[in-house]
Amino acid sequence: MAPSGSRSIKRGCQRVLYWIPVLFIALIVAWSYYAYVLQLCIESIEDTGEKVVYLLVYHVIFIMFVWAYWQTIFTKPMNPLKEFHLSHSDKELLEREDRGESQQEILRRIAKDLPIYTRTNSGAIRFCDRCQLLKPDRCHHCSVCDKCILKMDHHCPWVNNCVGFANYKFFMLFLLYSLLYCLFITATDLQYFIKFWTNGLPDTQAKFHILFLFFSASMFSVSLASLFIYHCWLVCKNRSTLEAVRSPVFRHGTDKNGFSLGFSKNFRQVFGDEVKYWPIPVFSSLGDGCSFPTCLVNLDPEQPSSPTGSNPANKSAAEGRQFPSKPLRESQSRLLTSTPSWSENETATDKDRKGASNPGMTIENEA
């Protein structure tokens, strides 16, 4: 009982310590609000029109910044679905096998029915011993959260959360609005910062708030700009931070651009298809986080591609299952098509034409 109790106390202390960076950011933001709104706008700016414009723009950016930060912190990371977890019988079978190759045979058998295309560096199935599951593509185990996180980017101490599939859009908007927040404060505070050095401001406590507000906002702007530009580059390339450090491995080998579909499709995979949702911290990313379209020409031969055809019965049956015969959801499949949609009649006509020219061939759709 004693070791268990000590571990519980240790975990509790760690949880408290993990919130210190978030508390630090919250205090900085609270002070900046007081310094900008009260000390600069209300106390120091004399022109009413300038004051009103500054306060309106400031509060719009401030609200979006806090909203995105809140969403990044409190959006629970998504974990792999139960289909990726080993069943009780599979666990027992895996435990009975001592040899690694035999265990891999078991894992390969289970992975055949799952949309898994990435491998370890040695070519083995990616398996998590802690969570007892087959890792979906782009999924990684977080040592801090002690869970497997879908499309894990990194664990961020400044939000005390894992940044992954569920909140990556929120994290990007948090970087964007925090950068705009700092740049706006720096730009509007500049003239009063200059007056501070030319003795153009009255000798009040507002002078020091204006001074430190400019310094802190400008310094945060530099660091946020570099981080935001880096993550914009990752979005354009459809990579996570972990994939930028270590490229994903497929059966044909390492491919750093394996998930890249081009700038437009990469961007829409994170922000969604509807433009009106792009600047708002609401979830609009495409897909389910468990399977992702790739640009690979040679698909994994161990992942059979079943023909979906244009039969309405087959289509409705596939939509009712979690993992249809085509291992991509509709939103993901749209990323692979150059045209928005096509009619069932056109597809059927096209297949009839191909069937007439090649009567001995079977046409299959591959994801």
Domain boundaries, the chain: 82-159
Q: Left (φ > 0), alpha (ψ -120 to 50) or beta: where does 4 sit?
A: alpha
Coil vs helix vs strand at 224: helix
- Integer Rg of the chain from CA: 26
| pTM, full prediction | 0.80
Residue 367 CB neighbours (<10 A): 20
N residues, the chain: 367
Query: Catalytic one among 156, 162, 182, 290?
Result: 156
Q: Using one digit for the tens of pLDDT, what is the confidence trace for 16-37? A: 899 999 999 999 999 999 999 9
Mean pLDDT of the chain: 83
288: nearest Cα among 171, 124, 109, 164: 164
Q: Which residues pair with 174 in a beta bridge?
A: none
What stretch of H or E contains 235? helix 206-237
- Cα(295)–Cα(332) distance, rounded to whole angstroms? 12
Q: Which region among 183-187, 193-197, 206-210 has the lowest average model confidence (pLDDT)?
A: 193-197
Concerning whether 142 is annotated as a catalytic residue, the answer is no
Residue tagged 């150059």 (tokens)? 338
- Cα(203)–Cα(200) distance, rounded to whole angstroms? 9
Of 331 and 344, more confident: 331
* Distances in whole angstroms, Cα of residue 329 to Cα of each of 171, 258, 313, 314, 334: 24, 18, 17, 15, 9
Q: Which region among 24-38, 42-56, 173-187, 323-337 has the lowest average model confidence (pLDDT)?
A: 323-337
pLDDT value of residue 196 = 78
